[in-house]
Amino acid sequence: MADHEGSGQDPVPTSVASILAGPGLIRQPAVIADHLDGVVQEIVTSLEAVANCPSPAFDLPQGLDDAMRLARFCEALGAMGPPIMADYAAQYAAISRAQRFPPDAHEALFMERAMVLIDYFVELAQVHGVAFASRVGQIPPPVVEKTLSSLRFGLLRARDDAWAAILRS
């Protein structure tokens, strides 16, 4: 380095080393997105397998009207929501930390994929639940809409609870 004492100038290094972060040091939000896509796909595949596997264990008591059958089916789906969302949130938090991001850094990634799950639950209720429930005749559309809205609301609450748990951790 040249001596700049007394000149009023800061010393300037004669050579500057470039420091590049290695692959393990670069934070990559795309890795989080890809991981979450895989988690969502795994959950959807598992739910579809359950929905396509009729079993006497899933039979509802005889004598229930179609609207009540749909409501019970949606209640069962809704009961699966909180643990699935909690697991999804835990996986999101883990991959965020692995990529050295604070868990709240990519809320949009979390929320977008959580909505895919919620939409899938509602689609599952529409396709399988309505067909399952209406063995004889139709369920009035307002009843279907109210039941599906209730399912969606419960799942949104489960998503928000899972996000709040991430923020507390």
Q: Which residues contact 120 (CB under 8 A, 6 or more apart)?
A: 44, 47
Query: Would you place residue 5 in the very low, low, confident or very high pLDDT band (cuts 50, 70, 90)?
Result: low
Q: Is 29 exposed, middle or buried (0-12, 13-18, 19+ CB in 10 A)?
A: middle
- 117 compared with 8, residue with greater pLDDT: 117
Query: Would you place residue 53 in the very low, low, confident or very high pLDDT band (cuts 50, 70, 90)?
Result: low
What whole-number distance in Å separates Cα of residue 33 and Cα of residue 30?
5
For the ranges 1-10, 56-65, 144-153, the one whose mean pLDDT is highest: 144-153
CB–CB of 95/106 below 8 Å?
no
What whole-number distance in Å separates Cα of residue 95 and Cα of residue 166?
12
Query: Does the pLDDT of residue 19 top 60, yes or no?
Result: no
% residues pLDDT > 90 (the chain): 50
CB–CB of 89/39 below 8 Å?
no
Query: Does the pLDDT of residue 88 top 60, yes or no?
Result: yes
Query: Does the pLDDT of residue 29 top 80, yes or no?
Result: yes
Q: Provide the pLDDT for residue 28.
A: 82
What is the mean pLDDT of the segment spanning 34-59? 80
What whole-number distance in Å separates Cα of residue 49 and Cα of residue 37?
18
Model-level pTM? 0.76
Q: What angle do CA 98, 102, 107 make, to 5 degrees?
A: 105
Q: Which alpha helices (DSSP H) does 52-140 contain, by range? A: 66-98, 107-124, 130-133
Give me the half-sphere count of Cα atoms (radius 13 Å) on the Cβ side of residue 156.
6
